[in-house]
Amino acid sequence: MIILGIETSCDETSVAIVEDGIRVLSNVIASTKDVFSESGGVVPEDAARRQVDLILPVLHSALSKANITYIDIDYIACTKGPGLMGSLLVGTTTARTISAIHDIPLIGVHHTFGHLSSVWLESKVSPVFPCITLSVSGGHTNVWYRSSHTEGILLGETLDDAAGEAFDKGAAMLGLPYPGGPSVAKAAIDGDKNIHPFPIALSEQKTCNSSFSGLKNSLRVCLQKEGIKGNVENFAASYQEAICAQLTNCIVHALCLYPEVKQVHIVGGVSANIRLREMIDDTCTPLTIHTPTHTEYCTDNAAMIASAGYFLMVEKPDVATKDFSTKSSLPLANYIS
Ligand code: KG4
Ligand code: ZN
């Protein structure tokens, strides 16, 4: 089954062609992140305008790289939400238009469900269920127990900021460019994580929930007291360590609840973080840890949306093409309707 995926929920414009949910024939991503590096975050109206400029060139490039035409496509899977309304509209309007002209059925995919499917992309040893999935991006921090692609229980989420947001806001305080995750990780390489040992939120509680507002405040207070000069790398290393430690604690607690689980999956933009992977890997040995096979599948991309559309069609064909609403209620079953 060949699916054309479209993802435009924020500041990436992406179109992909994926076969049977796993084989990526093309995955074209035009990111406008560098445009927002100075502003410290995405300006929604600007992001939407850039989506308009980029969507058709990206679409044509994805079709030509995969060497296919619309006749070869079985379904179109498009991110239906959540995300920035203007950006989402560009993708959904494009999807609806192609669907109408070429008579290709449309599948609406919840953005988070796309991230959950990203570990299957080009994976040589296919991940299996049941698994614990940590889905960490700029918009959400979720811990799932999953028994199939479309069935699962949300075990925990952030009580305030998402982990990626904590990276982005911490980076802004440290004078590092947006997106904050990669710039904090880069600065942390030359830093000493033990110089500013920040408190790990909720570490006394047995929970899969997370909270990053206290950590952000600790960084702010520390910077006010000690000043930033000559110390950015140490702050970055300590701050990254505190975020990763908290996310690792969430996984540890999930594994206490479901000791039969054999695999841990880490997805979403923050799953690109090397220290996070290392910490979870060390803590969860001998369990197998699966992360997306390429960094481009960690951050927002259309291949994961096409993959999610495929698994949705395989497991829930009756609901997959039923509607195109932006319903985002929990649990996972509702993510897909
Ligand atoms: O999944 P994503 O591309 O978009 C959302 O769905 O939000 O995630 C973007 C987030 C940003 O907050 C960014 O700072 C973070 O992922 N991120 C990272 C890394 N690469 C991206 N965080 C930590 N370390 C990284 N290497
Ligand atoms: Zn995302």
* Alpha-carbon gap, residue 81 to 217, rounded angstroms: 30
Task: Tell me the pLDDT of the chain averaged across its residues.
Answer: 92
Average pLDDT over residues 156-163: 96
In this structure, the answer to whether residues 99 and 170 fall within a common structural domain is no
In this structure, the answer to whether residues 87 and 158 fall within a common structural domain is no
DSSP string, 154-201: EEEEBSSS-HHHHHHHHHHHTTPPSSHHHHHHHHHTTS-TTSS----T
- Which position has the higher pLDDT, 307 or 322? 307
**Which residues, in sequence order, are bridge partners of residue 153?**
145
In this structure, the answer to whether residues 107 and 55 fall within a common structural domain is yes
Portion of the chain with pLDDT greater than 90, in percent:
85
In this structure, the answer to whether residues 83 and 206 fall within a common structural domain is no
- Which position has the higher pLDDT, 207 or 324? 207
For residues 132 and 143, is the Cβ–Cβ distance under 8 A? yes
Return the pLDDT at 228.
Answer: 84
Rounded to 5 degrees, what are φ and ψ at 35? -60, -30
In this structure, the answer to whether residues 288 and 301 fall within a common structural domain is no
**24 CB within 6 A, ligand 1:** no
Q: Which atom of ligand 1 is nearest to the CA of 165?
A: 12
User: What type of residue is 86?
Assistant: G
Average pLDDT over residues 74-98: 95
Return the pLDDT at 296.
Answer: 97
CA of 112 to the centre of ligand 1 (A): 13
In this structure, the answer to whether residues 131 and 11 fall within a common structural domain is no
User: Which domain, by its residues, includes 40?
Assistant: 2-118+296-334
For residues 99 and 115, is the Cβ–Cβ distance under 8 A? no
Query: Three-state SS for 298?
Result: coil
Among the candidates 292, 307, 326, a domain finishes at: 292
User: What type of residue is 43?
Assistant: V
Q: With 90 as the cut, is the pLDDT of residue 98 above it?
A: yes
Strands (E), the chain: 2-7, 12-19, 23-31, 75-81, 106-110, 131-136, 141-146, 152-157, 263-267, 288-290
Helices (H) and strands (E) in the chain, counts: 11, 10
Instruction: Categorize the per-residue pLDDT at 122 as very low, low, confident or very high, splitting at 50, 70 and 90.
Output: very high
Q: With 80 as the cut, is the pLDDT of residue 32 above it?
A: no
Q: With 90 as the cut, is the pLDDT of residue 2 above it?
A: yes
Q: With 70 as the cut, is the pLDDT of residue 224 above it?
A: yes
In this structure, the answer to whether residues 98 and 141 fall within a common structural domain is no
Q: With 70 as the cut, is the pLDDT of residue 78 above it?
A: yes
* Alpha-carbon gap, residue 76 to 106, rounded angstroms: 5
Q: Which atom of ligand 1 is nearest to the CA of 274?
A: 26
For the CA of 291, the nearest ligand? 1
Among the candidates 292, 309, 324, a domain finishes at: 292
**83 CB within 6 A, ligand 1:** no
Return the pLDDT at 323.
Answer: 55
Q: Which atom of ligand 1 is nearest to the CA of 168?
A: 14
Return the pLDDT at 325.
Answer: 44
In this structure, the answer to whether residues 80 and 211 fall within a common structural domain is no
Average pLDDT over residues 234-248: 98
Return the pLDDT at 321.
Answer: 74
Q: How many domains does the chain have?
A: 2
Portion of the chain with pLDDT greater than 70, in percent:
95
Residue-wise pLDDT for 52-73, tens only, equals 999 999 999 999 999 999 999 9
Rounded to 5 degrees, what are φ and ψ at 312? -65, -45
The CATH number covering residue 239 comes to 3.30.420.40
In this structure, the answer to whether residues 327 and 285 fall within a common structural domain is no
- Give the angle 72-76-82 at the CA atoms, nearest 5°: 160
In this structure, the answer to whether residues 58 and 140 fall within a common structural domain is no
